Amino acid sequence: MANPDYAYLIDWFWDLGSARSMGFAGPDPIRLPDIAAWSSLTGNILLREEIGILRRLDFAFVQTLAEMDREKEAKGTAAKEERVLVEREMTPAMFGSMFGRR
């Protein structure tokens, strides 16, 4: 089977995340109903595998932000105000190394 190029999922992830809700502890995870609504509104039909990848990306994103907050709080820095969400653009090569190619 050919190796699919999932680089487009990064764009889908950021698009989905732009509408995420915020809780007291920071950004909430993207929920399955949010993915379903986004899919319906955009016309993008997701495969089960793509949903899994988007959810793993989101889990890593939320966990990374929480870790950044914990580190800044340990240093006495105002975590929410100084957080850098994206330091560099995700490339297809970075995506492939994170999630592997099949």
* pLDDT exceeds cutoff 80 at 97: no
For the segment 50-70, what is each residue's pLDDT rounded down to a tens digit? 999 999 999 999 999 988 888
Chain segment 22-48, per-residue pLDDT in tens: 888 788 999 999 999 999 999 999 999
Q: What is the full DSSP assignment across the chain?
A: ------THHHHHHHHHHTT--EETTEEPPPPHHHHHHHHHHH-PPPPHHHHHHHHHHHHHHHHHHHHHHHHHHHTT--HHHH--S-SS---HHHHHHHH---
Per the DSSP assignment, residues forming a β-bridge with 26 are: 23
